[in-house]
Amino acid sequence: MRIDQALRDARETLSQSPSPALDAELLLCRALGQTRAYLYTWPERTLDETQTRLFGALLARRAAGEPVAHLTGEREFHGRAFLVSPHTLIPRPDTETLVETVLALLDDTPRRALDLGTGSGAIGVTLALERPAWNVILTDASLAALRVARDNAERLGAEVGLVCGDWLSGVSGRFDLIVSNPPYVDPDDHHLQQGDVRFEPRAALAANDHGLADLRVIIAQAGDALNAGGWLVLEHGFDQGGAVRTLLAEKNFQAVATHRDLGGNDRVTLGHV
């Protein structure tokens, strides 16, 4: 079968996906070991038997709901390809708002930074690469997730520290910056039964207290772990900006503000001690 015909058939197979054309291209790239540019440069080239079989298997799994990122083993974040696994959240464009907020806030002056609940390492590794003078430490309570973060750091050439622990329990000393994309979805939210999140670790998605439980813990602990003037920057749900600002103010954080994501939703709230 030719590449162009394979893509046409795949788009029909994946018609229930929110992005059938993109899914088809990414999965065919995986089956061929090629880039998307290759698909459009050589549409007349044919798939061999092994490639056809692999592509068919990938399409069947995607049609059954598995995330494309799990099928390809990676997802782009801030211009870099990050390895992902079922042990980590799949990096999303909304989280780039957190990274962009931090990069606009702090220059490459040497600092000590902490990424809590790092998962794939997308946030912490990106900060380490964009701010090479920083000493960045990544933590996660899941050893399996931390191994993925380690592999991403090594693959992308980022120098980071790694600590297995629950929030700040495994780290010592003080930091100039603490960032986190913690679980913040209400456990009863129906979206947890839809789309890619069905295949992601529930512990990394949902938190008690209407999604605020882990945010509350981090905010309570962070003040004692930050240097004077140090910043806490948190991702949260689109409807949680007001609640997070209140939690920060109650712990005497200053210059508390919320930034919106590309969709115009409240996404990142920050403050300093």
Q: Which domain holds residue 15?
A: 3-65
Interval 66-96: pLDDT, tens: 999 999 999 999 999 999 999 999 999 999 9
Tell whether the model's pLDDT for residue 273 goes beyond 90: yes
Residues 135 and 210 in one domain: yes
Residues 148 and 54 in one domain: no
Residues 58 and 87 in one domain: no
Asked if residue 75 belongs to a domain, the reply is no
CA distance 143 to 87: 9
CA distance 222 to 191: 30
Asked if residue 115 belongs to a domain, the reply is yes
Interval 152-206: pLDDT, tens: 999 999 999 999 999 998 899 999 999 999 999 999 888 888 877 888 888 899 9
Residues 91 and 141 in one domain: yes
Q: What's the pLDDT band for 269 if we cut at 50, 70, 90?
A: very high
Interval 21-57: pLDDT, tens: 999 999 999 999 999 999 999 999 999 999 999 999 9
Segment 146-153 mean pLDDT: 98
Asked if residue 148 belongs to a domain, the reply is yes
The gap between the terminal CA atoms of the chain, to the nearest Å, is 61
Interval 224-260: pLDDT, tens: 999 999 999 999 999 999 999 999 999 999 999 999 9
Tell whether the model's pLDDT for residue 108 goes beyond 90: yes
Residues 148 and 190 in one domain: yes
pTM recorded for the entire structure: 0.91
Asked if residue 70 belongs to a domain, the reply is no
Domain count, the chain: 2
Task: Specify the pLDDT at position 201.
Answer: 87
Task: Specify the pLDDT at position 4.
Answer: 94
CATH of the domain at 17: 1.10.8.10
Task: Specify the pLDDT at position 170.
Answer: 86
Task: Specify the pLDDT at position 210.
Answer: 93
CATH of the domain at 179: 3.40.50.150
